[in-house]
Amino acid sequence: MSLSERIQKELTEAIKARDELRVSVLRMMKTALHNRQVEKMRPLEEAEAVQVLQTLVKQRREAIEQFAKGGRADLVAKETQELAILESYLPAPPSQEELDAAIRAAIQETGATSPKQMGAVIKAARERLAGKAVDGKMLADRVRALLARSE
C-alpha cells in the first residue's frame, strides 16, 4: 500500500472515529502530497512522498520552537501532537551508529579532509541512508563534527 493510499484509508477511519486532530493532520498531509503531485505533473514516487512529509515535520519543529519562544504553551502542545502523527508515517530514523558509519564511509568515499567539502559528504551519506528519515540539520552537524576531528 502506498503512502497516499494509507493516508486516504486512515483519513476515512479518523473521520468515522471523529478524531478531529488526526483528520486535520491527515488532510494537511493529503493536500501537501496532492500539491506536490500537481507541481510535478505526475504521480509521486514513494521517496518524493516521504520528502514532502519530512518538510511538514520540519515546519512543525520550527513552529514548536517559535511558539515556545513566544510563550504559547497551548500552540506548542498542538504542534507537538501534530508532529507525533506526522512522524508515524515516516520511515524509522537511522540510529546514531548507522548515521556515523554512513558519514565515515562517505568521508572515505569522497576523500574529504575539511569542513569545506561538507556538501559532497552529506550527499554521499544521504545516498547511503536512503529509505531512512534523515534530519538534514542533524546530519550536517554530525558531518561537521566528524570532519573537524579528521583535520
Residue 114: its pLDDT value, please?
Answer: 79
- What is the location of CATH 1.10.1510.10 in the chain? 3-87
The count of other CB atoms within 10 Å of the CB of residue 135 is 16
Cβ proximity of 112 and 118 under 8 Å: yes
Task: Give the Å distances, CA to CA, from 59 to 8, 52, 54, 63.
Answer: 22, 11, 9, 6
First-to-last alpha carbon distance for the chain, in angstroms, is: 46
Residue 86: its pLDDT value, please?
Answer: 94
Choices 3.40.630.180, 1.10.1510.10, 1.10.150.120, 3.90.600.10: CATH for 3-87 = 1.10.1510.10
Give CA angle at 1 (46, 123), nearest 5°. Answer: 20
- What is the location of CATH 1.10.10 in the chain? 96-150
Residue 146: its pLDDT value, please?
Answer: 84
Residue 73: its pLDDT value, please?
Answer: 94
- Contacts with 119 (C-beta within 8 Å, 6 or more apart), sequence order: none
The percent of residues above 90 in pLDDT, for the chain, comes to: 50
The count of other CB atoms within 10 Å of the CB of residue 23 is 18
CATH level 3 topology of 96-150: Arc Repressor Mutant, subunit A (1.10.10)
pLDDT tens for 22-50 read 999 999 999 999 999 999 999 988 888 98
Q: Read off the pTM.
A: 0.76
Flag whether pLDDT at 105 surpasses 70: yes
